[in-house]
A and B are shown apart, each in its own frame.
Chain A
Amino acid sequence: MASLRFLMLLLLVVACSDEAAPSIDSNDSQAPQSESLEIEDARARSSRPPHANSAAFMTLSNNGNQDLVLVGVKTSRAKVAELHTMLHEDGKMKMRRVEHLVVPSKGELVLKPGADHLMFFDLDKAWRKGDQLELTLLFARYPEQIVTLEVEM
């Protein structure tokens, strides 16, 4: 009877776990190794009046055997940072926030204008061409990555 109760408890725990929600835990034994990821062509867009927002772009290459899931970004240069995508539907452009973006195993995630990108709101001050920014990319089950980039556009 005791073992049955244990089994019931175990089933309950399994049923309540939320595997869909990525947790950021770089100590996970199953986590991909940090050398899996390469980041290139990182650059940011200068803000324009009213300096309400700006965006950053880069290419993330995943040489590992597991997909990497980008779940967030942060920077001291903006109070709010989000992942966004742009939907193209019959000539209409629709920008939407997304919860995560995937860097596929043996593939790449290209963050670029008119597609997936990083969005920043409530900027500390205008982002001007030539400014150096530091971003921290947050992944599920993968170490956060600090990227230094320049405002180029």
Chain B
Amino acid sequence: MRWFVVCCLILATSCSDEPLEVYDTIGGDFVLHDQFGSEYQLSAHNGKIRLLFFGFTHCPDVCPTTLAEVKEVWQQLSHEQQQQIEILFASVDPERDSGDLLRDYLNSFDLPVIGLRGSEAEMLKITEQYGSYYEKVQLDSALSYTIDHSSQTYVIDEQGKIRGLVAYDQPPSALLELLKRLL
């Protein structure tokens, strides 16, 4: 049900010219660990705008595409604007995504991304909290298993509130537009 709400919010976000709404029904604080093993609490980083995406390193398509598009947007921002933003990539594959792997994977994008990881239980709780979804699926493929997952990017403001959602099939300009309205 929460993810039906998220779908509606994406639609509302993409269609509205009104000031950005605060989405109170999803989101909120969480505590995970970054790729270097340090604790990351969302609320402790209030004061920054956060871009949050749930993905995994073995994701062959959606995740690298999303990170490449975030990079495209990032490069269009001034240094001062970049300093106001944190990019968060939260892994929904706790089984495979070690801290070291997350670090190596994210380094390859040449983009300052904070990789986040937690236990299966923590990730299930947080994705539910954010109206997101993921599920491990065995494949008849050399991939062994994959993770079906929601693909939207959350735009979180300086107070830790979700102010926008960008769907996978929206162009990078949609994310840039949202960010410019917040910066």
Contact = CB atoms under 8 A, between A and B. Distances in A.
Interface of A: 45-46, 48-50, 52-55, 80, 82, 84, 86, 88, 90-97, 113-114, 117, 119, 121-122, 153
Chain A binding site: helix, strand, loop or mixed by DSSP? strand
Given A92-B150, A94-B148, A113 B65 contact: yes
A48 B111 CA distance: 13
Contact of A49 (B10, B57, B62): B57
A91 B3 contact: yes
A149 B146 CA distance: 27
Nearest to A90: B7
B137 A94 contact: yes
Contacts of B141: 82, 84, 97, 119, 121
Given A92-B149, A93-B151, A48 B65 contact: no
B104 A113 contact: no
- Nearest first, the 7 A-B pairs at minimum CB distance are A49-B104, A121-B142, A80-B142, A97-B141, A94-B148, A93-B151, A113-B65
Contacts of B7: 90-91
A2 B3 CA distance: 68
Given A49-B101, A91-B150, A96-B139, 7 more contacts: A50-B58, A80-B142, A82-B142, A93-B61, A93-B150, A97-B139, A117-B61
Interface of B: 3-4, 6-7, 10, 57-58, 60-62, 64-65, 68, 101, 104-105, 107-109, 133, 137, 139-143, 146, 148-152, 167-169
A52 B149 CA distance: 19
A119 B6 CA distance: 30
A91 B152 contact: yes
A91 B134 CA distance: 11
Contacts of B57: 48-50
B124 to A, nearest CB: 15
Contact of B61 (A46, A52, A55, A82): A55
Question: Most A CB atoms within 10 A — which of B101, B151, B167?
Answer: B151
14 contacts: A49-B57, A49-B108, A50-B57, A80-B142, A88-B169, A91-B133, A92-B148, A92-B150, A93-B151, A95-B143, A95-B148, A97-B139, A114-B61, A114-B169
